[in-house]
Amino acid sequence: MADKPAIRAEGQRLLDAFRAAGAVPVEADILQPAEALLDLYGEDIRARAYVTADPLRGEMMLRPDFTVPVVQMHMAGGAEPARYAYLGEVFRRQERPGARASEYLQAGFELFDRADPPAADAEVFACIHAALAPLGLRAVTGDIGILADAVRGLSTTERRKAALMRHIWRPGRFRRLLDRFGGRAAPDPRRAALIERLAADTPEALIAAAGPLIGKRAANEIAARCTALLEDAAEPAIPAPEVETVEAILALRAKAPAALEALRGHAAAMPALAPAVARLAARHAALAARGVDVAALDFEAAYGRTTMEYYDGFVFGLLAGDDMPPVATGGRYDALTAVLGQGRAIPAVGGVIRPGLVAALGGLR
């Protein structure tokens, strides 16, 4: 591993490249409020955050990344459009010694612009891709929005769609729900017995017979959950062709042009995919206009599902090999700006680079 001065030098070179692209350097506090932010990160980050109690400010955490604090800063009063760059340490607790770094330098570029989201995606990717070009990394792209649009287009209840949407970033749980809602899961005797018991009497009578309430749920909440379980059990399965389309999307791995054609075929069978496919085509055109060889890009429709849960559209990574974490990652997070904007929102996309990995690969010079 390179020494800290060498890593800092690589980080400064990256920061200078982002500034040359029009980004304004910004800082973020190392200690961040924990309560509001932990829910915005994926399970992996939440499990590895350093959390502490501050007698004056309550529960706090060491900064696990920069994107959320930068979005907070922008939504509090940033001008539009805006480009930001940063360089600093992030902290992530590890369960095993030597598994990964618990503290490392992160450089990043964030773009807030509502005029042309595909062009903004292309700008961020092209900037990071060009900065790391000397390393010869493999670029992989994806789009969380394609899977989300597929879920929204399913012929099923809004409750089932909402459950699938909640677990898009949890592949195992998503698969189990899709199998159950699609009628493919093996019979669950315990669930069948529960449904039979719930159908035998009113929720209120079952609650009364169970004895004193234990826990934080009120009786009306328990009754509503019982009703929801019964209603879901009576729902027909999601049509098999629709389940197969979702499965085909999840399995899609190809060069970007071939992936686009495959998705166009799926959109013919599931019209809800058409807007996401159109966005993908526009992004490819914008990337090509910035000199990116789109034909050489790998596309994986499931890419990014186990990283940050605030990504909701375009995602990408620049990879050196299977034995090393991604050197750079990024994506679109429009919904995050709405969550932190208190009623306001703006399309936004960004990416981060690990200067330590850049240095370990020989650096940019």
pLDDT digits 0-9 by tens, 247-288: 999 999 999 999 999 999 999 999 999 999 999 999 999 999
Show the DSSP H helices in the chain as ranges: 4-20, 34-38, 43-47, 67-75, 117-131, 144-152, 158-166, 171-181, 189-199, 203-210, 219-234, 240-251, 256-269, 274-289, 334-340, 355-360
Q: What is the 3-state secondary structure (H, E, C) of 254-302?
A: EEHHHHHHHHHHHHHHCHHHHHHHHHHHHHHHHHHHCCCCHHHCEEECC
151 compared with 183, residue with greater pLDDT: 151
Beta bridge partners of 90: 104
- Residue 304: per-residue pLDDT: 86
111 bridge partner residues:
83, 349
The residues, any chain, with a CB within 8 Å of residue 358's CB and separated by 6 or more, are 7, 10, 14, 132, 135, 327, 364
User: In the numeric block, which tokens belong to residue 345?
Assistant: 């929102």
pTM recorded for the entire structure:
0.87
pLDDT tier at 343 (50, 70, 90 boundaries)? confident
Separation in Å, CA 197 to CA 136, 201, 202, 203, 207: 61, 7, 10, 10, 12
**pLDDT, tens digit, for every residue of 71-87?**
989 998 877 899 999 99
Look at residues 319, 4, 302, 341 and name the one whose alpha carbon lies nearest to residue 135.
319
Average pLDDT across the chain, whole number: 88
According to the model, what pLDDT value does residue 50 have? Answer: 84
> What is the distance between the alpha carbons of residues 155 and 135, in angstroms, rounded to a whole number?
46
Neighbours of 224 (CB within 10 A): 13
The CA-based diameter of the chain, rounded to the nearest angstrom, is 73
Where is average pLDDT lowest: 87-91, 224-228, 233-237?
224-228
What is the per-residue pLDDT across 122-131, written as a single tens digit (0 to 9) for each?
999 999 999 9
Average pLDDT over residues 184-192: 77
Helices 158-166 + 144-152 axis angle, to 10: 160
Q: How far apart are CA 110 and CA 66, in angstroms?
A: 10
CA distance 352 to 85: 10
| 126, 290 contact by CB (below 8 A) | yes
pLDDT score for 43: 59
- CA separation for the pair 163, 160 (Å, rounded): 5
**Confidence band of 46 (pLDDT split at 50, 70, 90):** low
Residue 96 has pLDDT above 70, yes or no: no
Give me the mean pLDDT over the 108-129 stretch: 97
| Closest C-alpha to 206, from 229, 231, 230, 223 | 223
Mean pLDDT, rounded, for 102-109 = 92
3-state secondary structure of 184: coil
Structure token digits, residue 128: 């990071």
Q: Which two tokens stand for residue 209?
A: 């017979």
For residue 62, list its beta bridge partners.
31
More confident residue, 235 or 229: 235
- Which residue ranges make up each domain of the chain? 4-150+245-360, 156-239
pLDDT of residue 211: 63
- Confidence (pLDDT) at 208: 67
Domain 4-150+245-360 CATH assignment equals 3.30.930.10? yes
286-318, pLDDT tens digit by residue? Answer: 999 999 999 999 999 999 887 667 889 999 999
* 3 state DSSP class of 109: strand
